[in-house]
Chains A and B, each alone.
Chain A
Amino acid sequence: MIRINNLHKSYTTGQNKLHVLKGLDFNIKEGELVSIMGSSGSGKSTLLNIVGILDNYDQGDYYLDNMLIRDMSEKKAALLRNKYIGFVFQSFNLISFKNAMENVALPLYYQKMSRKKRNIKAMEYLEKMGLTEWANHMPNELSGGQKQRVAIARALITQPKIILADEPTGALDTTTSYEVMSLFKEINQLGITVIIVTHENDIAERTDKIIRLKDGIIESVNGKKIAHKTENSLAYV
């Protein structure tokens, strides 16, 4: 599903060039439940953004469903995101002036589905999340767990191949976190690839595969250390 070879990414802020990803190689197969771990500054969010086609990269290859994702037009990237990827964020990122149902239905708006149809579909997904009664509530009337479930419903409604979650439990208490995680497990069992970025060990332990990042390189996969040729990254610099 996802194939990444020798991926490099650096940010330029003023005079400084910050080399964030220093040559990553990994594959994620269809239907896997993967977590990406690492301390802050390890490059995990950057990686997630690149995987989610929210950001571009400098060097290497990224294949999504055997398609090379590189130098994409914004329009094409948007279409691919809409079709393949569902996002779940730490801060939920619901649109504050739309109610739960409208938030869930929004991705279908960009698929040009009629209002009536997409609202019916949104209700379906809210029901799956157990939020039927909350459909007409605004995001600020919902609890953190409810908001995250609305966000998950929004990510699922386009029936994506991949769910990308950036610290999905970061703003939630432990009980709610576990609830959300079991939700991701259920989604995964439907055959959807789920990638979760987290820094919490107990969350990562609930996934099938743990990719640990450290200073822009993969430190270990499922605890197995990865050997690196340092020249490789230096050559790029």
Chain B
Amino acid sequence: MFDLDKWQEIFSTIRKNKLRTFLTGFSVAWGIFMLIILLGSGKGLQNGIETQFKQDAVNSIWLFPGQTSVPYKGYTLGRRIRFTNDDFDQVNNKVEDIDHISANFSIRGSGVVSYKNEFGSFDIISIHPDYLFLENAKVKEGRFLNDIDIKKFRKVVSIGPPIVEALFKDKESPIGKYIKVNGIPFKVVGIFEDPNERDMNRIYIPVSTAQKIFNGGNVIHRLSLTTTASVTRSDEMTEQLQADFAKRHHFDVKDKQAIFIRNTLKDFQQFQNLFLGIRIFIWIIGIGTIIAGIVGVSNIMMIVVKERTKEIGIRKAIGATPGSVVGLIMMESIAITAFAGYLGLVLGVGLLELISSNMPGTDFFRNPEADFGVAVSATILLVVSGAIAGLVPATKAARIKPIVALRDE
């Protein structure tokens, strides 16, 4: 297979037939290039939308109180539903398959936060410790709020990095320091990190503490939970929640305005289906591109062999065996397609790299990348099909009598 002299013969032929080489190579390089751009764009689209989802837990259910829209058992419509700590306990104890759960008590207006002489205005969110998982956030330093904080109504906070930057100007560690939230001192126990930039501007305090300090009584404004169950099960859970709340708060089970339940699992599932659709679409176009490439290479190989009929005749007359003629054409075609395919691969991947490193990721497009294995297999497929496309006419040409070939002017 590897015979230096044979390759020298092949390369001298390639060098002296530049246009032919270029045409063959171009169709292969273009096919691979387009395939990679296509796969990369699809992946970029998917990455963009997926990042959006990753900002919060994708398997969560959120409950908000509303107003009744249907009269029920003597109650008029338009009655406000209020969630209380009892709702939190009931849901936590009665509904199965809950992974993490948190209540939320909103503090009116944004909070003024200060440390020594530094001030800032940030969102103050009161929650249960599990809220960390709902936001898909992580502890960066220290700890997050815990159950003891809730039980003992501790005045502790977990803050985001922008707050650390705003308040702690002289680079001291905020852990263990007291900051003032609306004038009340809170001890900083940790710093968290959230994949969503905006959600970092937050101060988390225990929900129980907030209710006490900000005259909340036992009111909560939101319930959120995550589940690892299937989509069907999460549907059942929302139904159960609707029924339980209807019973406790005396409204019609079918009243969709009394409370609002948002199931992100379902949204995510829908997007997953969309991705699947996009992937199938891209694959259909990709396979089409590859087939177009194969047809192009086959066409050119057939023309090449036709064009070389006379040369083949001469070679045979001076002693070339049919095998060596076929070998020469095949090796040449493989060499050209392999090189061109590689070139297309490098250019395509290079362009994607350029785009992903120079273009800031948007909500819909981020980090386009192609599956390298797929690209390599596509190149190999093109090389093999180019070889097969060359094999048929080459064998035919090698079989014709040299006289016929030589007569071909």
Contact = CB atoms under 8 A, between A and B. Distances in A.
B5 A81 contact: no
Interface of A: 45, 49, 52, 54-55, 74-75, 78-79, 81-83, 87, 89, 91, 93-95, 97-98, 102, 106-107, 109-112, 114-115, 154, 158
Given A54-B402, A93-B406, A97-B17, A75 B322 contact: yes
Contact of B323 (A75, A97, A106, A158): A75
Contacts of A87: 317-318
B317 A55 contact: no
Given A93-B406, A114-B5, A74 B318 contact: no
A110 B16 contact: no
B151 to A, nearest CB: 89
B406 A74 contact: no
A82 B402 CA distance: 13
Contacts of B17: 97
A50 B162 CA distance: 93
Interface residues of B, number: 28
26 contacts: A49-B401, A52-B317, A54-B316, A54-B317, A54-B401, A54-B402, A54-B403, A74-B321, A75-B321, A78-B316, A78-B319, A78-B321, A79-B321, A87-B318, A93-B310, A93-B313, A93-B314, A93-B406, A98-B16, A107-B318, A107-B319, A110-B318, A110-B320, A111-B319, A112-B5, A114-B5
B154 interface: no
B126 to A, nearest CB: 83
A110 B319 contact: yes
B314 A110 contact: no
B16 to A, nearest CB: 4
Given A74-B322, A78-B319, A79-B319, A109 B403 contact: no
Interface of B: 5, 8-9, 12-13, 16-17, 310-311, 313-324, 398-399, 401-403, 406, 409
Contacts of B409: 91
A55 B5 contact: no
Nearest to B13: A97
Contacts of A79: 319, 321
Contacts of B317: 52, 54, 81, 87, 93
B320 A78 contact: yes
Nearest to A86: B318
Contacts of A111: 319
Contacts of A78: 316, 319-322
B15 to A, nearest CB: 9
